[in-house]
Amino acid sequence: MKPEDLKAVRAFVKEHLDGRHVELDTFAEKPSDVYDRFRDTGLANWWLPESLGGRGLSLEDGVEIVNELAYGDAGVAFTLFISVLGTSMVELYGSQELKERYLRPMAERGSFCATLGSEQTAGSELAKIGTVVAVDGEELVVTGEKFFSTNTDFADFLLVVGRSAEDPEQSAMVLIPRDTPGVEVVKRWDVIGLRASYTYQVSLKDCRVPVANRLEGSGLRLLEIGLNASRILIAATALGIARRVRDHCMTYAKTKPLRDGVLLDSPVFAAKLGQMEMRIDVMKSHLLRAAREYDAITANPKAADVFHRQGTLKSALTAKMFCGQTGWEVASVGSEMFGGLGYTDELPIGKLVRDMRYVSVVEGGDDVLRDLVFSRYVIPVPRRT
């Protein structure tokens, strides 16, 4: 990434997100003007490969970009990067025809895709999903109900994981164009944070696509692999929010009267902000390490095989858990510094606390990820740190 790219992101945040926390925290129409202006930076879908018309920026670059975007608004950041989950699966396991037909237009238009995995009954136990993928001649027929999916209504295409009708022990990942008959948005969820993002409940009724729209390999394994990049970037939003909390605290402390001076003069405040800065620094260090590990695999000509053997990356799991938990500590301490105002919507701090909470909830809650770390990286002795 060039220095001017990061400058462009910061300029975008300052011009189009700064001061809009009230507007972006309402249950209103998506802020299309914001997405249009981000396209003007030339960085929309920045991770798509140059071979398909994209910028081909690394996940390490993505951490820096998302950090800046989330400083402005975590919901906008989430909308702008979450397509990496679906596109990374297509890039690694889709045919060249699928890549040309669906990823190249995304690079050209700066548009979106969505991934549909979660279901009401299955929850985090994706092995229990009820969506069915059946083969009918040269077509796949997909039927099921998906509970949480971001960007679906305005996506170009959907990546849907379902169970094989012919062999329930097998799963498939299928690319379904958004305008396919049978795709129905049931409702938009009214979430408590990230309200500038758009998460939907979706019904799939006999959605027919060509057999060639199935990605190669087990659908659940592919989803596991795709989650590596998105989990690291979700963790990066915690970094941006934490930085914003710190800066709000500093601004407030400069004018908040305390005894014969202001809050900024208090050694208790200094200790809390010093601790906050330490946490922010460690969060960023771990995020960059996780991103570099991911980038090292993608640079391998046999990246698809390496990811298929590896599955969930330990660093992606620990980055999401650590940043979610540490970011929550930063947000909690920050909100307390504002006293009663920290428990109102009068100042941005209340929104930042609610935005931070999602990091430990989406794409596997912390207890789910703890179990994954234990089963994948503690029980097998050779894989322990």
What is the pTM for the complete model shown? 0.95
pLDDT at residue number 28: 76
Q: How far is CA 50 from CA 9, 12, 37, in A?
A: 20, 23, 22
pLDDT at residue number 194: 94
Neighbouring C-beta atoms of residue 175, cutoff 10 Å: 25
pLDDT at residue number 1: 87
Q: Are 175 and 159 in contact (CB under 8 A)?
A: yes
Positions of the chain with pLDDT under 70: none
pLDDT at residue number 104: 97
Question: If we measure between CA atoms, which residue out of 200, 202, 245, 260 comes closest to residue 337?
Answer: 245
Residue 67: CB partners within 8 Å, gap ≥ 6?
Answer: 236, 237, 239, 240, 243, 284, 287
User: How far apart, in whole angstroms, are the C-alpha atoms of residue 293 and residue 112?
Assistant: 26
